Amino acid sequence: MKCVSQAPTDQGLNQDPYPFYDRIRPLGQLVWWEDYDMPVAASHAVVSALLRDRRFGRENPYPPAIPKHQAAFYAVEAHSMLELEPPRHTRLRGLVLRAFTSRRIKELGPEIEALSHELIDAFPDTPFDLLTEFAQKLPVIIIARLLGVPEGKAPDLLRWSNAMVRMYMASRTRADEDAAAQAATDFATYLRSYVEARRAKPADDLITRLIEAEEDGERLSTDELITTCILLLNAGHEATVHSLGNGVKTALQTGKRPDDPDKFAEEILRYDPPLHMFTRFAMEDIEVFGHSFKKGEEVGLLLGAANHDPDVYNRPSEFDPERDMPPHTSFGAGLHFCVGAPLARLELSIAVSVLFRRCPDLKLASPPEYANSYHFHGLTRLMVSQ
């Protein structure tokens, strides 16, 4: 297997990771990424196959000991469907899908549209950051409303979520680990009292439906309920914020506009996705794509690279909202395929179409810059003027 060396904390990589992907894709179906000390896949075929391969899973078969200062964070993660495999995953995902119906998501359309208008009405006349004024507010308010958490809590949700997701970053420090543990404690404490209140006084919201959801006589325990709410709140906005930011930036740079908002949203997701790498553990000793994996060994699946594979997409580095394309990998595939994909698609498609209808003269006020983070690919800010 060919080896490559590339620091995930490198500014150049994080500003534009696609040339690196183009460099490693021809090197083989799997390439050893030295800095992560594991094989990675950069082609659409291999990424898609490994996401669906049940001999690989998200749950580490040999979990490492958890340092004391990270215990609070991992106590929450222990009940997360995203970190589990069947049968627990099947049960938790089934219960969530019962409450998170596509009909309820569709009904949110008018609400997303009204909120987009409300946020645009509040845009200042001077240059401003579209990320904080629009891209961040929209998904966090919608997911808070959907769950039934007060909108006034949005700043706390953002703060807790930002602290918790730093655990997935290559550059995380001890201070980040302490902050993530504290955020997990505060988040869980807040939700515990909130869930108790909902148990006593049910309402028409997702938390109430999750409390009531039952499959084969099984319900979510309180700890599972709390983790599921945290997962939905965190996953429910973090990636959407950055998809929206990356997409609006691309529209402004290319001059392309959302004539067909659904296709536009899909191309945003393919062209510059917010999440670039997920990993899987071999659940048994196996040989795939010419490499022998020992049980417990990890493989990196590069979603952004798969989306730019020239074997699958014509002119992959061109932003072309008109393209008819095979499915991209931005929402994953297989067992862990994103539960929130219908909501994210709806939010993106409505938000960009209302934004460009209302602000046809929107332009960049300063060159946008991506955060120096590999796992989460999003802008630090998006300064625009009208």
Site for ligand HEM in 82-111 (CB under 6 A): 82, 93
Three-state DSSP state, 298 = strand
Q: Does 235 bind ligand HEM (CB under 6 A)?
A: yes
The answer to whether 198 and 211 are in contact (CB under 8 A) is: yes
x-or-dash string of contact with ligand HEM, 355-384, rule CB under 6 A: ------------------------------
The residue assigned the tokens 């891209």 is 135
CB-based contacts of 28: which residues, under 8 Å, 6+ apart?
1, 2, 290
Q: Please state, in angstroms and rounded to a whole number, the distance separating the CA atoms of residues 241 and 331.
A: 15
Q: 163 or 303: whose CB is closer to ligand HEM?
A: 303
Of the candidate residues 336, 373, 379, 384, the single one contacting ligand HEM (CB under 6 A): 336
Cα distances (Å, whole numbers) of residue 291 to 28, 32, 36, 201, 303: 11, 10, 17, 55, 20
Q: 156 or 178: whose CB is closer to ligand HEM?
A: 156
Q: Minimal CA–CA distance to 233: which of 335, 337, 172, 149?
A: 149
Residue whose CB is nearest to ligand HEM in the complex, by number: 340
For the chain, give the number of residues.
386
Of the candidate residues 119, 251, 339, 346, the single one contacting ligand HEM (CB under 6 A): 339
Annotate 272-293 with DSSP letters as a single string. Answer: S-SB-EEEEEESS-EEETTEEE
DSSP letter at 218?
Answer: B
Q: Which stretch in 2-10, 185-193, 237-245, 247-255 sits in contact with ligand HEM by CB under 6 A?
A: 237-245
Of the candidate residues 29, 227, 240, 246, the single one contacting ligand HEM (CB under 6 A): 240
Of the candidate residues 226, 239, 362, 384, the single one contacting ligand HEM (CB under 6 A): 239
x-or-dash string of contact with ligand HEM, 295-334, rule CB under 6 A: -----------------------------------xxx--
Q: What are the residues binding ligand HEM (CB under 6 A)?
A: 58, 81-82, 93, 143, 231-232, 235-236, 239-240, 243, 273-275, 278, 330-332, 336, 338-340, 343-344
